[in-house]
Structure 1
Amino acid sequence: MQPMSMPGSLVEIPFDNRRIQIEYQWLRPERAQRPLVVFLHEGLGSVSMWRDFPRDFCEAGDYCGLVFSRYGYGRSTPRPHGEKWRPDFMHRQAREALPALFDALEIGPGRAHGTPWLLGHSDGGSIALIHAASFPEAVAGITVLAPHIVVEDLSVRSIAATRQAYLETDLRERLARHHADVDSAFWGWNDIWLDPEFRRWDLRPLLSGIQCPVLAVQGEDDEYGTMAQIEGIHRYAPQTTLLKLARCGHSPHRDQKDPLTLAAVRHINAYTSNLK
């Protein structure tokens, strides 16, 4: 399957005392009166790394969609090679960069595009959780795929293995198709996840602040996280619905696309059935 063919546009936002450009792409903008789903990519993701899933998902639910590449990824402004992510990098994306993007694109309560639903994968799922907890009135609901709420030994081992693959296989070449500066994207993510200081990273204290409906999805064969991640979300945010998928690794939208789509569309529609 090929990446989405349409190139993303660029919008400038303020972040970290500078101006940066963010790559983004609207999906089915003619359906702007329908729920807006914003897709938050994984730690090595981008607009194109999602491939066709966001478009297919929005067509299945008759939604409008927004896909974007975070700072340092895709065609967005690359991270300078000397700049290191800090342990709070996902908090800053959720509390600073994402609100700035929503401001620039007129997304939110009372704005042109209304209150969004967030669908995040891996790091993007964690960012969705932080954003929903930090701005509870600004999110209609969230779906998180293989999210992280704590750092597990399994995650660290798999990320260390990914580092070796980047150095020794064609992984770098394959990722380079999706990023303007592939080394910036890879090492920013890999270095912080393998930093001993990051082992103390923990989202559990803020999860009780989430007020919106949550669908938390985990594959039984996920090489980057265990069921403890989504079960922990349910423990602190009991309105969470859990979906555990057999024969599924770290990417439910690829490994089990159809059952995921069915469950996530039902999740959104349960709260938006009055919309046309």
Structure 2
Amino acid sequence: MSQETGYLTAAGQRLEYRWVGPGPAEAPTLVLLHEGLGCVSLWRDFPERLVAATGCGALVYSRAGYGRSQTIALPRPLDYMQREGEAVVGAVLDAAGVRSAILVGHSDGGSIALVHAATAGRERVAGLVLMAPHVFCEEVSVRSIAAAKREYEAGELRARLQRHHGENVEAAFRGWCEAWLDPAFRRWNLEGYLPQVTAPTLVIQGEDDAYGTIAQVQAIAGGVAGPVETLLLAGCGHSPYRERPEETLAATARFVGQLVR
């Protein structure tokens, strides 16, 4: 399976990327958008497995402030997900030559995917696979992020993240956690974007997700304009592709196969 790694420039940002499988002239492209503490390397082998199961290519990249991409100034603006979806994702797709995109977003990445599909990406996005997305702030999210902050400052979380983010570890963690723990973030809400989402959507949610409840799934399913499917995974937390990889891969491959056909 062919692979390419390097850096691209999009919206004035130098971003690390990895391309797996066929190029954009040969097949649709799965664009993987990582979680609030994620990056290219934290997807592990999921991109390769998706490519093998679907025949599509996969573009994986780290947003600014994550992985080996350029760093950012803190604090992040509280509307960082809206900004990313409206202004940056499209520039990344342009820089990579992506023609037809299926966005595969996890957590923050799922939220960013919704914003992009509702705004700049309406003509290019053929479908959405959203794992543990959020469209509003819940108390369970705030409590879990506060616990993660304690683990980062007094436990082993910082060391684990530094293996993936290197010198960006502070920007990655503080940018995410300080935004979500800001009292003003309780008013953060993406539901106004949902009626503009016309692409077919698959939402995958763990029933034991410590960062969000089924209310997020219900809001998306009831709010988007396009067809929507949902998959609830028992015994699964916030990362379906890591905790329940076989079910997540099978559901994603089936959904993508319908789009490609």
- TM-score w.r.t. the length of structure 2 is 0.95
The whole-number CA distance in structure 2 between the counterparts of 1:230 and 1:27 is 29
The 5 A counterparts of 1:217-236 are 217-236=204-223
1:203-251 Cα offsets, whole Å, 9 max, x none, are 1111010011000010011010000101110111262101000110000
The whole-number CA distance in structure 2 between the counterparts of 1:7 and 1:30 is 10
- Aligned CA RMSD, in angstroms, stands at 1.4
Whether the aligned pair in 1 keeps the contact of 2:128 and 2:201 (CA below 8 Å) is yes
Question: What is aligned with 1:153?
Answer: 139
The whole-number CA distance in structure 2 between the counterparts of 1:44 and 1:270 is 31
> 1:195 and 2:192 equivalent?
no
Shift of 1:32: 4.9
Question: What is aligned with 1:206?
Answer: 193
The whole-number CA distance in structure 1 between the counterparts of 2:39 and 2:186 is 25
Question: What residue ranges of structure 2 are gaps of 5+ in the alignment?
Answer: none
Question: What is aligned with 1:86?
Answer: 77
Question: What is aligned with 2:172?
Answer: 185
The whole-number CA distance in structure 2 between the counterparts of 1:194 and 1:7 is 37
The 5 A counterparts of 1:1-276 are 8-14=5-11, 19-29=12-22, 32-80=25-73, 83-107=74-98, 114-134=99-119, 135-180=121-166, 181-237=168-224, 239-273=227-261
The whole-number CA distance in structure 2 between the counterparts of 1:148 and 1:36 is 23
Runs of 4+ in 1 over 2 A off after TM superposition: 29-32
The whole-number CA distance in structure 2 between the counterparts of 1:50 and 1:270 is 24
The whole-number CA distance in structure 1 between the counterparts of 2:140 and 2:198 is 30
Shift in CA distance, 164/211, structure 1 to aligned 2, threshold 3 Å:
same
The whole-number CA distance in structure 2 between the counterparts of 1:123 and 1:157 is 17
The whole-number CA distance in structure 2 between the counterparts of 1:271 and 1:105 is 21
Q: Secondary structure at 2:165's aligned position in 1?
A: coil
Question: What is aligned with 1:110?
Answer: none
- TM-score w.r.t. the length of structure 1 is 0.89
Shift of 1:34: 2.3
Shift of 1:57: 1.3
One-letter code of the match for 1:28? G
Shift of 1:20: 2.0
Shift in CA distance, 30/203, structure 1 to aligned 2, threshold 3 Å:
closer
Q: Secondary structure at 1:269's aligned position in 2?
A: helix
One-letter code of the match for 2:116? H
How many corresponding residue pairs? 256
Q: State, as a whole percentage, how many aligned pairs show the same letter.
A: 44
Q: Secondary structure at 1:223's aligned position in 2?
A: coil
Shift of 1:30: 5.6
Shift in CA distance, 79/7, structure 1 to aligned 2, threshold 3 Å:
farther
